[in-house]
Chains A and B, each alone.
Chain A
Amino acid sequence: MPVPVGDPVAYPFNEAAGLELSARYARAQRADGLERVRLPYGEPAWLVTRYADARLVLGDPRFSRAACTAHDEPREQPGRVTAGIGATDPPDHTRLRGLVAKAFTVQRMERLRPGIRALAEGLAQDMADSGPPADLVESFALPLPVAVICRLLGVPEADRALFRAWSDDAVSSNAAEQVAASMRELSAYMVELIAEHRARPADDLITELIEARDVEERLSEAELVEQCMGLLIAGHEATAMLIPNFVHLLLDRHGGLGWLRDDPDRIPAAVEELLRFVPLRTGALAARWATEDVEVGGVLVRAGEPVMVSVGAANHDARRFTTPDTLDLGREGNRHVAFGHGVHHCVGAPLARLELQEALRALALRMPSLHPAGEVVWKRRSLVRGPHTMSVGW
């Protein structure tokens, strides 16, 4: 039976501020079929909110990301993104991902754990030494992933103030001209940095990608620049937002960090549950276009129609997770889709997990009495949700 379709509803359902999921998601999950949504820009799309449908759309090759170049992509930002690994399908995607995948595997990341642990403990100690209150974002959540990705890529940490502003724009819904100007500046910065690495090769990922281009011709010059930009932004932005989101939830719903300090072996499972629980994106993942007719959640999605997946909603689907709106830090079988699913599953997921585990460990052990010292100031006009500033005491 075809499901009657009304006018598309405005999306995203909720504002960027805070971590609440709009009640509309649970309603969409219970209803038949899929919602039709309209974003601030681009064509209307189908919205997927259920876990099983999310895995189908993200994992099935009949859905294409590369099709975004031929469509008016549904989006929150005025500017369109038509380049980079996120706008490709296999085999192009496989070629680009293969160049960096081996640098981010679980095994390679484990070798970084001691260094990241020392970095996190050092930042927590500096915060403790300078006395309360402190802004957790500026003092801890940003410097940790920025330092790690800078070292991995070979980007000078001293340039943090520069690329922080560009990176903020990349994940904002600021004016098109401002976002475009930031991306041009970041691109020019990266071109210069690549030239420096060509002249003076080092033991880092930028050098590795240059060799893949210059020696093996496995990517174009434009792809090289896009890969480096993507790694720098994606390599720190989400983690920098997740750390204060996690701490906020632990303070707000779990009475603080004491439970993790009592037994740090609880941290890995707690990180998985916090990843599941936090709807990091204000809206949904970038649209996928059906390349043939496919049935999704009781709706026949026609070839050429876009589908968007809310991973935040899928991670709170009561059909998959018991008591989904309870933060259960010991939850078992927690196969959330916070990192996506299928070929575009976050290549940096092992690094993000490691940083999040070590961030919570350092805070729990060094400052177990951490508590809020004022209201959280949330980011606005942002594609990712999280504190702009978060004042804490101890």
Chain B
Amino acid sequence: MRAVPVWRTTVDRDRCMGSGVCVALAASLFVLDDERSRAPVEFVAPDETVLDAADSCPARAITVTENGRVIGPRD
């Protein structure tokens, strides 16, 4: 039986500038806390939106990994 892939989302809160881009794109995956973003659910099922959020972040503060391999932001 193959394991279902799981993505891990992390937000570097020191880098975050609170633009709100990620929260507006994916309110279920990001929340603004003290005007900075965090990912309330660390592990999520693969979802293109989380990669979009990582790509769109002006601070490059969001990292998405799959089994330890960085898959977002995409170049």
Listed in ascending order, the chain A residues whose CB lies under 8 Å from chain B are 55, 58-61, 90-91, 94, 97-98, 101-102, 104-107, 333, 335, 339, 341-343, 345-347, 349-350
Asked whether B27 lies within 8 Å of A350 as measured between CB atoms, the reply is no
A60 to B25, CA, bound (A): 9
Within the complex, the shortest CB–CB distance from A190 to chain B, in Å, comes to 24
Within the complex, the shortest CB–CB distance from B64 to chain A, in Å, comes to 14
Task: Name the CB-closest residue of A to B35.
Answer: A335
- In the bound complex, residues from chain A placing their C-beta under 8 Å from that of B25 are 90, 94, 343
Interface centre among A61, A90, A101, A107 (most CB of B within 10 A): A101
**B59 CB contact (under 8 Å) in A59, A60, A106:** A106
Asked whether B21 lies within 8 Å of A98 as measured between CB atoms, the reply is no
Asked whether any CB of chain A lies closer than 8 Å to the CB of B15, the reply is yes
Question: Closest 7 A-B residue pairs measured CB to CB?
Answer: A342-B24, A345-B19, A59-B20, A343-B24, A341-B20, A105-B60, A335-B35
Within the complex, the shortest CB–CB distance from A121 to chain B, in Å, comes to 26
- In the bound complex, residues from chain B placing their C-beta under 8 Å from that of A102 are 55, 73, 75
Asked whether B20 lies within 8 Å of A58 as measured between CB atoms, the reply is yes
Asked whether A345 lies within 8 Å of B55 as measured between CB atoms, the reply is no
**B58 CB contact (under 8 Å) in A55, A98, A106:** A106
A347 to B25, CA, bound (A): 15
- In the bound complex, residues from chain A placing their C-beta under 8 Å from that of B23 are 59, 342
Within the complex, the shortest CB–CB distance from A227 to chain B, in Å, comes to 15
- In the bound complex, residues from chain A placing their C-beta under 8 Å from that of B27 are 61
Within the complex, the shortest CB–CB distance from A109 to chain B, in Å, comes to 9
Chain B interface SS verdict (over half):
loop
- Bin the interface of chain B by size: 20 to 34
A98 to B72, CA, bound (A): 12
Listed in ascending order, the chain B residues whose CB lies under 8 Å from chain A are 15, 17-21, 23-25, 27, 32, 35, 52, 55-60, 73, 75
- In the bound complex, residues from chain A placing their C-beta under 8 Å from that of B20 are 55, 58-59, 341-342, 345
- In the bound complex, residues from chain B placing their C-beta under 8 Å from that of A91 are 52
Given A94-B25, A102-B73, A341-B19, 12 additional A-B pairs, CB 8 A: A59-B20, A60-B24, A97-B56, A101-B57, A102-B75, A105-B58, A105-B59, A106-B17, A335-B18, A343-B24, A346-B58, A347-B58
A333 to B34, CA, bound (A): 10
Asked whether B58 lies within 8 Å of A349 as measured between CB atoms, the reply is yes
Task: Name the CB-closest residue of B to A109.
Answer: B58
A42 to B60, CA, bound (A): 38
- In the bound complex, residues from chain B placing their C-beta under 8 Å from that of A343 are 21, 24-25, 56
**A98 CB contact (under 8 Å) in B15, B19, B52:** B52
Asked whether A59 lies within 8 Å of B24 as measured between CB atoms, the reply is yes
A106 to B18, CA, bound (A): 13
Interface centre among B18, B25, B58, B73 (most CB of A within 10 A): B58
Task: Name the CB-closest residue of A to B53.
Answer: A94
A97 to B25, CA, bound (A): 12
Asked whether B24 lies within 8 Å of A106 as measured between CB atoms, the reply is no
- In the bound complex, residues from chain A placing their C-beta under 8 Å from that of B59 are 105-106, 350
